Amino acid sequence: MTHIVEMKGMNKYFGKLHVLKDIDLTVEQGEVVVIIGASGSGKSTLIRCVNGLEEFESGHLKVDGHELAPKSGNPKALAEIRKEVGMVFQQFNLFPHLTVKKNIMLAPQKVKSESPTIANATAERLLNRVGIGNQADKYPSHLSGGQQQRVAIARALAMEPRLMLFDEPTSALDPEMIGEVLDVMRELAKEGMTMMVVTHEMGFAREVADRVIYIHEGQIVEQGKPDDVFDNPQNERTQAFLSRVL
Ligand code: ADP
Ligand code: MG
């Protein structure tokens, strides 16, 4: 098995706040890992560490073979990781001054020196794949939230990532748009993409996750197959959390 993510004894502080506590976590190639937990438990910080958006103080983190040292001591690995890891945020974070298509074409041209012709073809293919091929020349503000999030996913895919990180990708959406974004994520999972997903969509987690991880105050207190975690949680913190959200 190929480990895409390997965390061992990872600790992260914001000042005195101990946000991630001795995290051990391995993600295999093709695995879909859903991370659940209360607000403030450290879910975002955990996945932001994976692509170096946050530094960590101690422990080991390897992403697709690249070792990220504590306190961002390895800029070379960081650059490689950023090329290989796509991220989708709650707030879509599209470039407002670029059309949808240009949003998708930018990184492959800048980071991978792709020709405009190739980048254009990739953008068109990906926009069709996420079901908005007809929106290519619009600006993000003219799209619905669900459409914008699908552009954000297409933009990440344009870099041909080895791993996709999602941080509450549907939390900012009107309810009627959540499904269209989850559909795209479901397809991606089916096609074998390795994914780490922070979400409160428990139906999605149950259906799509290979593994569900419950985080409480910066610690992984329970993990397992979705049916086991949801139907038969062992830890009382997990039980309490699930009884609030299910
Ligand atoms: P979650 O995503 O599970 O809601 P976060 O990872 O965002 O949790 O936050 C974990 C803890 O770290 C919270 O107590 C939060 O207030 C704190 N925190 C997050 N980001 C920062 C930051 N940039 N500076 C200081 N504290 C932070
Ligand atoms: Mg968060």
Tell me the pLDDT band of 246, cut-offs 50, 70 and 90. Answer: confident
21-47: average pLDDT: 98
- Helix (H/G/I), strand (E/B), else coil: 202: helix
Which band of pLDDT confidence, cut at 50, 70 and 90, is reported for residue 58? very high
Which pLDDT value is given to residue 98?
98
Please say if the pLDDT value at position 239 is more than 90.
yes
Q: How far apart are CA 175 and CA 173, in angstroms?
A: 6
**By alpha-carbon position, which residue is closest to atom 11 of ligand 1?**
40
What is the mean pLDDT of the segment spanning 101-108?
98
Residue 45 Cα: closest atom of ligand 1 = 6
Residue 73 scores a pLDDT above 80 = no
The length of the chain is 246
User: Mean pLDDT throughout 113-141?
Assistant: 98
- Asked if residues 56 and 11 have their Cβ atoms less than 8 Å apart, the reply is yes
Ligand 1: which of 35, 44, 91 to mutate, judged by most atoms within 8 Å of the beta carbon? 44
pLDDT attached to residue 161: 98
| pLDDT for residue 18 | 98
Max CA separation in the chain (angstroms)? 55
User: Residue 122 pLDDT more than 90?
Assistant: yes
Q: Which ipTM value was assigned to this complex?
A: 0.99
Q: What pLDDT does 16 receive?
A: 96
Per residue in 143-198, pLDDT (tens digit) is 999 999 999 999 999 999 999 999 999 999 999 999 999 999 999 999 999 999 99
Residue 5 pLDDT level (bands cut at 50, 70, 90): very high
Distance 156 CA to ligand 1 centre (A): 24
pTM of the predicted model as reported, rounded to 2 decimal places: 0.97
Residue 35 has pLDDT above 80, yes or no: yes
Cβ-based neighbours of 43, under 8 Å, separated by 6 or more: 35, 36, 37, 167, 198, 215
Beta-strand ranges (E) seen in 89-150 are none
pLDDT at 74 over 90: no
Taking residues 98-122, what's their average pLDDT? 97
- 116, burial (CB in 10 Å: exposed 0-12, middle 13-18, buried 19+): exposed
Over range 34-39, report the average pLDDT: 98
Instruction: Give me the pLDDT at residue 233, please.
Output: 97
DSSP reduced 3-state for 119: helix
The whole-number average pLDDT for the span 84-107 is 98
CA of 201 to the centre of ligand 2 (A): 14
Token pair listed for 212 = 């569900």
12-21, 63-72, 193-202: segment of lowest average pLDDT: 63-72
